[in-house]
């Protein structure tokens, strides 16, 4: 799937919602009723369609000079997080140093490698991130139906209770980050295998503006698409099976990025919106007066 403008993008999202909305009958006799399932999309945009993989930063790999793959980080994940907390706690005083889940989110927000991957509930925010990076490469927006994903990989139906979602996040943090290197016999005994989607606490204005959603990886460190079969990719054509529709990838040609960014600016999605505060204002003014806008 490919789009050339905001209008095509929004139209595609509406088409996908219609394609994967379906009604099933529940119960029988007097108690029979129809239940309608509608997709609940989350989005992630990135600037390089060909080379980017849906995998958290701490699990990414790079090629060495000899051509072999090696972990980009040491995989001492808890050490990374503790080191970040030690350095950052003097700036963020209202979060206890032993609130590991909170510091994991803060570390992700400020660029430290973690097992979290950022998504957003706002499709225009994802489109902005896709078009504002890697100017010479085609971009991508990944669209994922949270409800269909949870049903397939976690056997969860509909909205997950907040208390259960928080328990799953805490379980992953405890088993996969804190205990992993100290109590190996206790790890993965009925643990969480696949990435879990949840909404973090918006401790910082930027997270609210970006409508942040996190996906936290469980014990399986593969990229997200490895967990999803080819049959579960959504299509803009009328699907043969509406029950199978979890994910899709929307491509944006490199030569359309600048035009789409200008369209996004018209509806208020720009540096000033994405990065609230003086940093965002500076970036907004720089973009506004750059030579690309003076043609």
Looking at residue 64, its pLDDT comes to: 63
- The model's pLDDT over 27-65, given as tens digits with 9 standing for 90+, comes to 666 666 778 889 999 999 999 988 888 999 888 876 666
The structure's pTM equals: 0.85
* Tokens 């206790």 belong to residue: 186
Residue 108 falls within a domain, yes or no? no
How far is the C-alpha of 109 from the C-alpha of 21, rounded, in Å? 33
Mean pLDDT, to the nearest integer, of 181-190?
Answer: 53
Residue 76 falls within a domain, yes or no? no
- The model's pLDDT over 245-289, given as tens digits with 9 standing for 90+, comes to 899 999 999 999 999 999 999 999 988 888 876 666 666 666 665
Mean pLDDT, to the nearest integer, of 97-114?
Answer: 89
SS3 of residue 190 by DSSP: coil
Residue 71 falls within a domain, yes or no? no
| Angle in degrees, CA 174, 180, 184, rounded to 5 | 115
- Torsion sign (Cα): 106, 128, 1, 8: positive
Cβ-Cβ contacts under 8 Å for 57 (sequence gap 6 or more): 72, 73, 113, 114
- The model's pLDDT over 122-144, given as tens digits with 9 standing for 90+, comes to 999 999 999 998 778 999 999 99
Looking at residue 282, its pLDDT comes to: 66
Residue 294 falls within a domain, yes or no? no
How far is the C-alpha of 230 from the C-alpha of 246, rounded, in Å? 10
How far is the C-alpha of 155 from the C-alpha of 159, rounded, in Å? 12
Residue 285 falls within a domain, yes or no? no
Please name which of 244, 256, 213, 249 lies closest in space to residue 12, comparing C-alpha atoms: 249
pLDDT interval class at 149 (50, 70, 90): very high
**25-39, 212-226, 233-247: range with highest mean pLDDT:** 212-226
Q: If you average pLDDT over every residue of the chain, what do you get?
A: 85
How many domains does the chain contain in total?
1
Percent of the chain with pLDDT over 90: 49
143: left (phi over 0), alpha (psi -120 to 50) or beta: beta
Please name which of 192, 162, 177 lies closest in space to residue 100, comparing C-alpha atoms: 177
Looking at residue 221, its pLDDT comes to: 86
Q: Of 3-7, 78-82, 102-106, 188-192, where does mean pLDDT reach its minimum? A: 188-192
Beta strands in 160-203 (DSSP E): 196-198
Residue 227 falls within a domain, yes or no? yes
Looking at residue 172, its pLDDT comes to: 92
Residue 201 falls within a domain, yes or no? yes
pLDDT interval class at 295 (50, 70, 90): very low
How far is the C-alpha of 284 from the C-alpha of 100, rounded, in Å? 34
Residue 121 falls within a domain, yes or no? yes
Q: Which domain holds residue 220?
A: 6-13+41-56+115-269
């Amino acid at each position: 799937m490919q789009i050339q403008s905001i209008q095509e993008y929004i139209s595609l999202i509406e088409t996908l919602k219609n394609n994967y909305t379906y009604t099933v009958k529940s119960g029988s006799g007097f108690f029979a009723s129809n239940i309608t399932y509608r997709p609940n999309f989350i989005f992630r945009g990135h600037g390089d369609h060909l080379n980017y993989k849906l995998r958290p930063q701490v699990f990414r790999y790079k090629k060495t000079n000899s051509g072999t793959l090696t972990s980009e980080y040491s995989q001492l994940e808890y050490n990374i997080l503790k080191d970040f907390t030690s350095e950052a706690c003097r700036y963020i005083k209202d979060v206890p140093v032993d609130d590991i889940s909170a510091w994991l989110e803060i570390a992700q927000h400020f660029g430290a490698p973690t097992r979290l991957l950022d998504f957003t509930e706002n499709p225009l925010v994802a489109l902005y991130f896709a078009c504002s990076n890697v100017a010479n490469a085609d971009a991508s927006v990944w669209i994922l139906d949270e409800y269909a994903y949870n049903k397939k990989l976690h056997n969860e139906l509909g909205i997950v209770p907040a208390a259960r979602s928080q328990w799953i996040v805490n379980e992953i943090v405890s088993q996969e980050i804190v205990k992993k290197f100290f109590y190996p016999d206790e790890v993965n005994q009925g643990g969480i295998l696949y990435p879990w989607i949840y909404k973090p606490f918006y401790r910082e204005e930027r997270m609210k503006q970006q409508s942040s959603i996190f996906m936290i990886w469980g014990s399986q460190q593969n990229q997200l698409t490895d967990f999803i079969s080819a049959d579960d990719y959504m299509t803009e054509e009328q699907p043969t099976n509406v029950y199978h529709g979890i994910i899709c990838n929307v491509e944006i040609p490199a030569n359309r990025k600048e035009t789409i960014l200008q369209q996004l600016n018209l509806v208020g999605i720009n540096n000033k919106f994405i990065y609230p505060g003086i940093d965002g204002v500076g970036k907004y003014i720089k973009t506004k007066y750059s030579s690309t806008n003076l043609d």
